[in-house]
Amino acid sequence: MTTATTSRGDRRVSPVFLGILAVTAVTGWATWTGFAERPGVAVFLFVTAAWVVSLCLHEYAHARTALHSGDITIGAKGYLTLNPMKYTHALLSVVLPVIFVIMGGIGLPGGAVFIERGRIRGRWRHSLVSAAGPLTNVLFAAVCTAPFWLHALDGVPGDFRYALAFLALLQVSAAILNFLPVPGLDGYGVIEPWLPPGAKRQVEPFAPFGLLFVFALLWLPSVNGVFFDLVDAILRGLGVGDGDASYGYSLYRFW
């Protein structure tokens, strides 16, 4: 019943998203073949485009789960088209996450889709809507690291391998940070339905600043060290070598 008011056009994949996919494919090919005269430029474009693709999929997962949980307004807002230009805050949704990657090699998606929570019934459904985004990052990380944990790296060019490792780092860091129970992040959205009303009212004013607060904390050397130690431990568990992601980041920052 929830999909009955969603037209076929509301679900049609946006040309903008297809264009981003095309950039990802072409620059991935250039990274793989060594076609680019400056490999760092190809790695930069490939990782950035793939990162934006993952941002779109992250928000699509929120929207699709919300649709099936009762918010039938999602389709009309354009959220099912995977078009990042349809998001509520383009700056928070795409620009800031890319800046975070360039400045610190950190994957941190921002808030993007507006969900009418009043249409969703049941605390478990609310939690699932919030969890759907970072779970998409977990899946993306698994795909990026598949050649590593499947021991299928024979024949994979070095630059492409390092780019995949860095892209995996972004996905792992995005999943960890988004699952933090900080207002404004998905982790808080998971637990919010289970909090007393008074606690929700006290926390609500801080929600717009949660993302920037977390990013500021990561600039503290002690916090940054602990965080990336955790990310590196997860990557090692997925078969990614200690230096692969860091070398990928150095290629990414070609300038």
From 59, 116, 192, 204, the catalytic residue: 59
What number of H helices and E strands is found in the chain? 13, 0
Is the distance from CB of 135 to CB of 70 less than 8 angstroms? no
Instruction: Retrieve residue 62's tokens.
Output: 């929120």
Active site annotation includes 59: yes
Local structure of 46: helix, strand or coil: helix
**How is the chain split among helix, strand and coil, in percent rounded to 5?**
70, 0, 30
Would you give the distance in Å from CA 141 to the centre of its chain?
10
**Residues in contact with 106: Cβ distance below 8 Å, sequence separation at least 6, in sequence order:** 100, 170, 173, 177, 215, 218
Give 182-250 as a DSSP string.
Answer: -TTSHHHHHHGGGS-HHHHHHHGGGGGGHHHHHHHHTTSHHHHHHHHHHHHHHHHHTT--TTHHHHHHH
Is the distance from CB of 150 to CB of 144 less than 8 angstroms? no
Residues acting as catalytic residues: 59
